Amino acid sequence: MTMDQKSLSETDHLLTATRIRSLANQLNIHPTKKLGQNFMIDPGTVRRIVSLAAVNDCDQILEVGPGLGSLTLGLLETGASVTAIEIDPSLAQQLPRTVQLLQPNHRSNFHLVLADALRITPDNLQQSGLDLSRPFKLVANLPYNVAVPIFLTLLQKCPTLQFATVLVQDEVADRLSAQPGSKMYGVPSVKLAWYGKADKAGKVGRSVFWPSPNVDSALVSFQRYDAPLDTDGCRDLTFQLIDEAFSQRRKTLRASLKKSISADQIESAGYDSSLRGEKLTVNDFMNLAHEIINSK
């Protein structure tokens, strides 16, 4: 069955499992692990995500990896302005047609960028219709194989990205929201904490995806700090220390950071050099970066 107007009028304006498979067959699309593609086939889950993100008609939304448009349509249904970044040319070509067919009243609110989200620039987003002078939200089923770098890259490049609700692997959700001292706490936890506060917001079953992934999924809610931590340009050095501290997480700060800061400097900054990186907050790493800068 093709996705024609007659078949679409039988239900509402979101993609169902039947429509997803029909579209994929028409386009000869086979979801690939390389691009982290798992298409959402459950309208109820789509609306759950949109509700959790508190999307309304005043919002600007950035979506990464829209795929065949399941979440896109749910976002547009609210009247919000949606800018979607898609890396797959075949999917990008089809998506505006799907929007026109299922959400024709909101077609003018939809903007598409054919690009790699890891290489997107603020100018690309601005030209596509996203007003970066105003706050916006990231709401996305992120490609699982590159979810963390995409999230951190967008936060770095876009200071007006104020809120996010993202669907990621369950283990990644645990890492993004982990607190110091926990076994899941690591580089993603600390770097995300540089920008704001992340919380795990619930699990999502495997059956709502096609193809069904081999891992559980979960939602992460994020809110950016009102005031940035990086007021003196020490972000890069702080992130370098974070990477070094967790490169071998069983090592002490004295051992893992020895290329960048001495044990005496660590102690001078007020920290026990025998601690491991997993005990430090992002502010602690920033304080060590300041110690290095001030000692020069």
Q: Are strands 39-40 and 209-210 parallel, antiparallel or unpaired?
A: antiparallel
Task: Assign 3-class secondary structure to 25-65.
Answer: HHHCCCCCCCCCCCEECCHHHHHHHHHHCCCCCCCEEEEEC
149 and 276 share one domain: no
Domain hosting residue 264, numbered range: 235-294
Within-domain flag for 23: yes
Within-domain flag for 229: no
Per-residue pLDDT tens digits for 76-122: 999 999 999 999 999 999 999 999 999 999 999 999 999 999 999 99
239 and 219 share one domain: no
A 10 A CB-CB count for 231 gives 7
144 and 264 share one domain: no
pLDDT category of residue 1 using cuts at 50, 70 and 90: very low
Within-domain flag for 161: yes
How many domains does one find in the chain? 2
Within-domain flag for 160: yes
A 10 A CB-CB count for 28 gives 7
Per-residue pLDDT tens digits for 34-72: 666 788 999 999 999 999 999 999 999 999 999 999 999
189 and 252 share one domain: no
240 and 193 share one domain: no
Distance of CA 133 to the CA centre of its chain: 20
Last residue of a domain, one of 178, 200, 224: 224
| pTM (predicted TM-score) | 0.93
Within-domain flag for 230: no
Within-domain flag for 15: yes
153 and 269 share one domain: no
126 and 241 share one domain: no
Last residue of a domain, one of 224, 247, 273: 224
* CATH code of 276's domain: 1.10.8.100
pLDDT category of residue 257 using cuts at 50, 70 and 90: very high
Please report the pLDDT score of residue 211 as a whole number.
85
Average pLDDT over residues 231-242: 93
67 and 197 share one domain: yes
Please report the pLDDT score of residue 33 as a whole number.
65
Integer Cα distance of 60 and 109 in angstroms: 9
Within-domain flag for 275: yes
7: pLDDT strictly greater than 60: no
Please report the pLDDT score of residue 9 as a whole number.
44
For the chain, the average pLDDT equals 93
* CATH code of 46's domain: 3.40.50.150
Within-domain flag for 136: yes
151 and 256 share one domain: no
Last residue of a domain, one of 205, 224, 243: 224
**Which of 25-29, 88-92, 287-291 has the weakest average pLDDT?**
25-29
20: pLDDT strictly greater than 80: yes
91 and 207 share one domain: yes
Residues in contact with 276: Cβ distance below 8 Å, sequence separation at least 6, in sequence order: 245, 249, 250, 251, 252, 253, 256
Please report the pLDDT score of residue 32 as a whole number.
67
11 and 148 share one domain: yes
Higher pLDDT, 190 or 4: 190
171 and 77 share one domain: yes
Higher pLDDT, 268 or 12: 268
208: pLDDT strictly greater than 50: yes
